[in-house]
Structure 1
Amino acid sequence: MLQISFLRENQEKVLAGLQKRHFPEAEKAVKATIEKDQQRRITQTELDQILASSNFVSKKIGQLMKEGKKEEAEAAKQETSALKERSKTLSEQLKKYEDELTQLLYNLPNLPNSKVPQGKTAEDNQVVEQHGTLPQLPATAKPHWILIEQYDIIDFELGNKITGAGFPVYKGKGAKLQRALVNFFLDEAEKAGYHEVQPPVVINEESGYGTGQLPDKEGQMYQLTGEKLYLIPTAEVPITNLYRDVILKEDDLPIKHVGYTPCFRREAGSWGAHVRGLNRLHQFDKVEIVRIHRPEDSYQALEEMALYIRSLLEKLELPYRVLNLCAGDLGFTSAQTYDMEVYSGAQKKWLEVSSVSNFENFQANRLKLRYKDNNNQMQLLHTLNGSALALPRIVAAILENNQSEEGIRIPKVLIPYTRFEIIN
């Protein structure tokens, strides 16, 4: 959430950032937010004055009673009563304005960092790097949704029977490959200095608002019937919310966490060839990294996270490319995002497997996540997160790129985890 003080003092900068994002009716949104803030501040000022007057008159009553001036004391009591009634009305009005202002701020996305390129759609994203040789597969190469049936390692029909479309059942070597990837990613994160946590996979409304899933992505999350609880879309949400309403010391920083969870996304309206097989699921496994930094350190941390995710893809022997997302394709809460895509040999397309983002203080403002610097000054922190990695498309690329007449070769780095070298 943008800070109202920043918006008030930097209206042109905020407007330019929203327009760079192609945010609809940006000027109208900024104007409405500023006007609501003015209403709030005027009401707050009047309420403060009324309370001060009421306090002064209350003290005056005691003095008048001591002096035996009963009539004046009675008049002062009536004045106090009127002031209290007015203060009650103003307090209710102030609460209404504060709630309305909060909702207006909730609906404004983060501002893109200056490093974010101009652009409106995914086609305008900037390719930063491409690594590895694209696989040269024979014409008979099969997409992963054929391979998983051939080797009986993932069953979509069983998942559909149990739950519905988008909830596969992993079997045999398919299940072992899933577990191997999770353990590999967790072990690598530990080596890189990340502290592992295992958070809940159900969150409350406060957590959803804290990291920006609410109200922006309410339609993409599964809500528990009769409860204001949601299944998590990513481990970023519960892990970052560990620090909601927390004041850290500068010596506590940086914070580096990793966590494995299943993730749940409704993705209503998704259909077509681009969502076949593992390309898009409603439930999937993911290992997430989350970092909390001082503002001056956060962009160095973003680059470190992106390099770390590259290293995982290289160890898995997967060709990849890195995209710097354009302003129009940024997520609601992000100030800058790198997407990592792997090449899927049989589908002949790039598949997104990770996003690593710096949210600057956008989430921290919602979370009230702050720290005291060495001068004992309170400041908002910067939060970052990244997929390291999401499993479905990684599995799709491994299956497709490593297929042969003998079977599907397992990347060398995973063999100690799978304890088999080939799926056949």
Structure 2
Amino acid sequence: MFDPKWIRDNPDAFDAGRARRGLPALAATVIDLDGKRRSTQTAWQEMQAKRNELSKQVGQIKSKGGDASAVMAEVASLKDRMAEAEVEEQKAAAELDALLAQQPNLPVADVPDGADETANRIEREVGQRRNFAFAPKQHFELGEALGLMDFAAAAKISGARFVVLKGALARLERALGQFMLDLHTAEHGYTEVNPPFLVKDVSLYGTGNLPKFAEDLFKTEQGHYLIPTSEVPLTNLAADEIVDETKLPFRYTALTACFRSEAGAAGRDTRGMIRQHQFWKVEMVSIAHPDESDAEHQRMTKCAENVLAKLGLPYRVMTLSTGDMGFSSQKTFDIEVWLPGQGMYREISSCSNCGEFQARRMKARCRKPGEKGTRFVHTLNGSGVAVGRALIAVLENYQQEDGSIVVPDALRPYMNGLEVIRPHA
């Protein structure tokens, strides 16, 4: 969300930022709508002042025994005109707010320009890819051969883009989530949160999921939405709050189920667990001081990288281009894990600095002790990491020629010491 005053003062910068995202100029339209709202508001204030003045005159005239009917008629007329002006001002404000609510955040200067993912910039590659003495299989081939990954059963129960995990694979997915939570809380300084999986529309508006991306969400008949990520409830912990800036940052982490309609994913990743309607994810959220969010962004990304490093999974870090970054982000680092079965890197974490964009939408502010003025906090979010995709990466990177899966050392304490997953383990 943008401050209309900032757009009035910086129209060229606003339109230049939009151009980097491949969007048309909008500053003139915003300034025109804002001008109508402000002029109507000014007219209302002038009429209010005039009405107050005339009301005093009515009292003075009556106190002297005079006829105040003409002045009273003018006061009544002003009241009607003020009501009309108030409606016009509210209409103009609503139109302006609706327009701004649909506009994405602006990229910061060091984000690479480009139309799509082909312009993303590789920052670093970490870890050695394993040399296989056999042709590595994809995760769904491995899971189905183990008898522990059942897409047909899930389709019978729920339809496409669901899976039933059994036995050791179900436990391995649970182990991954618990391992990540323990790592982020014990070593990375995050506070574990168990948030609601159902949220109100105002919460989704605050994070930028609504109104633009309603089709990506599952909505209940009671009006609640299933969370697409726990970024939504975690970030909204700061909504409508004014916090002591000396206590920032607040760092939260949660393991939740996530629900996405995948409305724009028709025909993509139709096999396997890459793109599901329901999946588990560990999320990291930071509510940061506005002067420190860049450093917090780097720190958050390192925390997500540490998960993959401890699991022994090769990965790379990308800075997303202006055409590939998300709606609310001003800069995003994607972490992509190597999947030998697919022979390619796939996203497993996306760490974004949203600046004050979400904070403006949810009115999340901070204040220095002893001062009256407030500033919007900066919000950051990142997968720490996607549990289902981590499961995929473990299966493909730790597979053996006989189809068994070696359990990474970091996960064995969560697997009751199990070292190898074999059929029906």
TM-score after normalising by structure 1: 0.96
Partners in 2 of 1:141 and 1:293 — Cα distance? 43
* Structure 2 match to 1:264: 259
Partners in 1 of 2:375 and 2:146 — Cα distance? 55
Q: Deviations over 1:69-117 (max 9, x none)?
A: 1x2x111110110000000000001110110000111111101011201
Partners in 2 of 1:172 and 1:273 — Cα distance? 28
Q: Is the 8 A contact 1:137 1:401 kept in 2?
A: no
Query: Aligned pair 1:408/2:408, yes or no?
Result: no
Aligned-pair CA distance for 1:205: 1.1
Q: How many correspondences in the alignment? A: 418
Partners in 1 of 2:296 and 2:168 — Cα distance? 36
Q: Is the 8 A contact 2:161 2:270 kept in 1?
A: no
Which residue, 214, 224, 229 being the options, matches 1:234? 229
Which residue, 212, 233, 248 being the options, matches 2:208? 212
AA of the residue aligned to 1:193? G
Query: Aligned pair 1:386/2:378, yes or no?
Result: no
Secondary structure of the 1:239 match is helix
Partners in 1 of 2:135 and 2:251 — Cα distance? 45
Partners in 1 of 2:147 and 2:48 — Cα distance? 74
Q: Deviations over 1:119-158 (max 9, x none)?
A: 1110110000001111222343221111111112221111
Secondary structure of the 1:130 match is strand
Q: Deviations over 1:311-361 (max 9, x none)?
A: 111001000000000111110110000000000011101110000000000
Aligned-pair CA distance for 1:385: 0.4
Partners in 2 of 1:11 and 1:376 — Cα distance? 29
Which residue, 323, 329, 333 being the options, matches 2:324? 329
Which residue, 188, 199, 202 being the options, matches 1:203? 199
Aligned-pair CA distance for 1:306: 0.8
Q: Is the 8 A contact 2:260 2:277 kept in 1?
A: yes
Secondary structure of the 1:280 match is coil
* Structure 2 match to 1:188: 183
Partners in 2 of 1:36 and 1:273 — Cα distance? 40
AA of the residue aligned to 2:48? L
Query: Aligned pair 1:422/2:393, yes or no?
Result: no
Q: List gaps (5 residues or longer) in structure 1.
A: none
Q: Deviations over 1:201-240 (max 9, x none)?
A: 1111101111100112111111113x43211110000111
* Structure 1 match to 2:337: 342
- What does 1:281-292 correspond to in 2, within 5 Å? 281-292=276-287
Partners in 1 of 2:76 and 2:387 — Cα distance? 66
Query: Aligned pair 1:122/2:117, yes or no?
Result: yes
Which residue, 179, 187, 190 being the options, matches 2:174? 179
* Structure 1 match to 2:360: 365
AA of the residue aligned to 1:119? G
* Structure 2 match to 1:87: 82
Query: Aligned pair 1:138/2:133, yes or no?
Result: yes
AA of the residue aligned to 1:360? G
Which residue, 66, 71, 77 being the options, matches 2:63? 66
AA of the residue aligned to 1:80? V
Query: Aligned pair 1:33/2:37, yes or no?
Result: no
Partners in 1 of 2:330 and 2:89 — Cα distance? 31
Which residue, 31, 41, 45 being the options, matches 2:42? 45
Secondary structure of the 1:263 match is strand
Partners in 2 of 1:5 and 1:245 — Cα distance? 21
Secondary structure of the 1:329 match is coil
Q: Deviations over 1:279-324 (max 9, x none)?
A: 1111000010000111110000000011111111100100000000
Partners in 1 of 2:130 and 2:71 — Cα distance? 88
Which residue, 273, 276, 286 being the options, matches 2:271? 276
Query: Aligned pair 1:108/2:108, yes or no?
Result: no
Partners in 2 of 1:282 and 1:21 — Cα distance? 28
Partners in 2 of 1:320 and 1:125 — Cα distance? 15
Distance 1:80 1:142, change over 3 A: same
Aligned-pair CA distance for 1:264: 0.6
* Structure 2 match to 1:399: 395
* Structure 1 match to 2:5: 5
Aligned-pair CA distance for 1:394: 1.2
Which residue, 345, 351, 375 being the options, matches 2:346? 351
Aligned-pair CA distance for 1:260: 1.2
Aligned-pair CA distance for 1:252: 2.6
Partners in 2 of 1:113 and 1:275 — Cα distance? 35
Secondary structure of the 1:188 match is helix
Partners in 2 of 1:401 and 1:11 — Cα distance? 50
* Divergent runs of 4+, >4 A: none
CA RMSD, 1 decimal = 1.2
Distance 1:271 1:79, change over 3 A: closer
Q: List gaps (5 residues or longer) in structure 2.
A: none
Secondary structure of the 2:74 match is helix
AA of the residue aligned to 1:404? Q
Q: Is the 8 A contact 2:140 2:271 kept in 1?
A: yes
Partners in 2 of 1:48 and 1:132 — Cα distance? 65
